[in-house]
Amino acid sequence: MTLLTPAVRAQARALRDDELPCYLYDLAALREHASSVRAALPGPVELYYAAKANAEPAILRELAPFTDGFEVSSGGELAHVRRAVPRSPLAFGGPGKTPSEIAAALRAGVERFHVESLHELRLLTRAAAERRGTRGPRPRVLLRLNLPVDAQALTGSALAMGGGAAPFGMDPSEAGDAWKLLSGDAADHLEPAGLHVHLASGLSAEAQLALTEEILGRVTALAGRHGLPLREVTVGGGMAVDYTRPFERFDWTAFGAGLARAARRHPGPVLRIEPGRALTAYCGWYATEVLDVKRSRGEDFAIVRGGTHHLRTPVTKGHDQPAEVLPMDDWPHPPPRPAVRGDRVTVAGQLCTPKDVLSRGLVAPGLRAGDRVVFALAGAYAWNISHHDFLMHPRPGFRFLTP
Ligand SMILES: *Cc1c(COP(=O)(O)O)cnc(C)c1O
């Protein structure tokens, strides 16, 4: 088994040393994955991509035919995604939207707002009213709720975004007031559409379905209690990518079948999911070379070009980034060529901090300076969450591979 696609392997070998490190994105692999995800979902379920996972324009364009829209979480993302995929609908989420971001979103004709608080709803209502007379459909509003669901207990999820006290979404006790606002004067400018819930990340298909079922039960009851129209329910993203089992993927087939059952039990609203990581993690690689190998207190260390200022994912998630070694014969430097003595090696980057570790236990017997290491599952929350300028090393290259 290999973590590399043929195109990535060939490119990672062909690059010159000074072209490394380099992010490699296999767009054909992305297309194939997105197409299989779309095919596993029931027809009426809408698929939005959460752009914060990776908003490279080439990736957004590749995803567009398989998605119903994009979720953006800042004014910057909104403008960027609108430019990259102008025909795709956008949903503007995220806490702490500023008045100028809201105004810019309205000017850009954003299709949906995920409203995070009563104050934000008042800001949005005023901004929309000020645009009275401009043409175009009213933007739809989904209230983001922090439902009192113990996502951790229900699913064992590693990263709970809600359920308990949280800065995301509004308390369900405020839903009634929000709907009163929305169905009053605001209705001239905004279209009440439904509810949005995103409670956890890193969920298996089974856990995700249990959470979805719980969410649908609660939002249906809440809507009934307050008499709110429920045309759309977004049940969030958070489909797991298991970095410790890089050959396994989220079970989209089981999830799709479960969603179809859930939709039959809760007829009416359009169901929408908005995954990020599980759509793009598998299409990106970070290729680099071993600069030096040393032994310290009986342990082997390989220092690679680049590091966690380019690929911060293993540090933020606390895992070893899965990787494959490409042995390279060429050795133009003075002998002897440094090499690993044991079976396992800690792969560190060029930063002067002990946190700059990409993998603690890479199985790479005989790994030598000059060999290449290609880190997989680097297509989401990788380059774009990293602290690029720390220590002023050069930036990596970026290649988008197409067949
Ligand atoms: C980050 C985020 C997502 C995507 O989460 P993934 O774990 O990448 O699938 C979806 N919805 C909201 C509101 C988010 O903040």
Are residue 170 and residue 232 in the same domain, yes or no? Answer: yes
Q: Report CA(5)–ligand 1 centroid distance (Å).
A: 27
Are residue 289 and residue 243 in the same domain, yes or no? Answer: no
**Lowest mean pLDDT: which of 134-138, 244-248, 280-284?**
134-138
Please report, for the domain that includes residue 336, its CATH number.
Answer: 2.40.37.10
Are residue 204 and residue 296 in the same domain, yes or no? Answer: no
Are residue 222 and residue 313 in the same domain, yes or no? Answer: no
Please report, for the domain that includes residue 114, its CATH number.
Answer: 3.20.20.10
Please check whether residue 36 lies inside any domain of the structure.
Answer: no
> Would you say the CB of residue 284 lies under 6 angstroms from ligand 1?
no
Are residue 100 and residue 232 in the same domain, yes or no? Answer: yes
Condensed to tens digits (0 to 9), the pLDDT of residues 93-141 reads 999 999 999 999 999 999 999 999 999 999 999 999 998 777 788 999 9
> Would you say the CB of residue 105 lies under 6 angstroms from ligand 1?
no
pLDDT for the residue numbered 157: 60
Mean pLDDT, the chain, rounded, equals 95
> Would you say the CB of residue 169 lies under 6 angstroms from ligand 1?
no
Last residue of a domain, one of 275, 290, 308: 275
> Would you say the CB of residue 201 lies under 6 angstroms from ligand 1?
yes
Condensed to tens digits (0 to 9), the pLDDT of residues 47-67 reads 999 999 999 999 999 999 999
pLDDT for the residue numbered 42: 96
Q: Which atom of ligand 1 sits closest to the CA of residue 144?
A: 13
Please check whether residue 366 lies inside any domain of the structure.
Answer: yes
pLDDT exceeds cutoff 80 at 28: yes
Atom 3, ligand 1: which residue's CA is nearest? 237
For residue 345, name the pLDDT band (cuts at 50, 70, 90).
very high
CA 165 to CA 153: how far, in whole Å?
15
Last residue of a domain, one of 275, 308, 338: 275
pLDDT for the residue numbered 215: 94
pLDDT exceeds cutoff 80 at 232: yes
For residue 403, name the pLDDT band (cuts at 50, 70, 90).
confident
- Annotated active-site residue 352? The verdict is yes
Are residue 237 and residue 354 in the same domain, yes or no? Answer: no
- Give the mean model confidence (pLDDT) for residues 309-317: 97
Are residue 251 and residue 361 in the same domain, yes or no? Answer: no
> Would you say the CB of residue 356 lies under 6 angstroms from ligand 1?
no
Are residue 265 and residue 245 in the same domain, yes or no? Answer: yes
Q: Report CA(75)–ligand 1 centroid distance (Å).
A: 17
Please check whether residue 80 lies inside any domain of the structure.
Answer: no
List the beta bridge partners of residue 72.
Answer: 92
Please check whether residue 187 lies inside any domain of the structure.
Answer: yes
Q: Report CA(201)–ligand 1 centroid distance (Å).
A: 7
Are residue 193 and residue 323 in the same domain, yes or no? Answer: no
For residue 271, name the pLDDT band (cuts at 50, 70, 90).
very high
Please check whether residue 84 lies inside any domain of the structure.
Answer: no
Are residue 139 and residue 254 in the same domain, yes or no? Answer: yes
> Would you say the CB of residue 50 lies under 6 angstroms from ligand 1?
yes
Are residue 300 and residue 243 in the same domain, yes or no? Answer: no
Q: Report CA(319)–ligand 1 centroid distance (Å).
A: 20
Please check whether residue 305 lies inside any domain of the structure.
Answer: yes
- Give the mean model confidence (pLDDT) for residues 322-351: 97
> Would you say the CB of residue 198 lies under 6 angstroms from ligand 1?
yes
Q: How many domains does the chain have?
A: 2
Please check whether residue 2 lies inside any domain of the structure.
Answer: no
**3-class DSSP string for the chain:** CCCCCHHHHHHHHHCCHHHCCEEEEEHHHHHHHHHHHHHHCCCCCEEEEEHHHCCCHHHHHHHHHHCCEEEECCHHHHHHHHHHCCCCCEEECCCCCCHHHHHHHHHCCCCEEEECCHHHHHHHHHHHHHCCCCCCCCCEEEEEECCCCCHHHHHCCCEECCCCCCCCCECHHHHHHHHHHHHCHHHHCCEEEEEECCCEECECHHHHHHHHHHHHHHHHHHHHHHCCCCCEEECCCCECCCCCCCCCCCCHHHHHHHHHHHHHHCCCCEEEECCCHHHHHHHEEEEEEEEEEEEECCEEEEEECCCCCCCCHHHHHCCCCCEEEECCCCCCCCCCCCECCCCEEEEECCCCCCCCEEEEEEECCCCECCCEEEECCCCCCCHHHCCCCHHHCCCCEEEEECC
Are residue 217 and residue 288 in the same domain, yes or no? Answer: no
Which one from 133, 352, 354, 392 is the annotated catalytic residue? 352
Condensed to tens digits (0 to 9), the pLDDT of residues 142-198 reads 999 999 887 777 766 656 666 788 899 999 999 999 999 998 888 899 999 999 999
Which among 37, 47, 48, 52 is the best mutation to test ligand 1's pocket, defined by most ligand atoms within 8 Å of the CB?
Answer: 52
| Residue bearing the bigger pLDDT, 33 or 136 | 33
> Would you say the CB of residue 277 lies under 6 angstroms from ligand 1?
yes
Domain containing 333 equals 12-21+282-401
- Give the mean model confidence (pLDDT) for residues 309-337: 97
Look up the pTM and report it.
Answer: 0.96
Last residue of a domain, one of 234, 258, 275: 275
Please check whether residue 73 lies inside any domain of the structure.
Answer: no
Q: Which atom of ligand 1 sits closest to the CA of residue 277?
A: 8
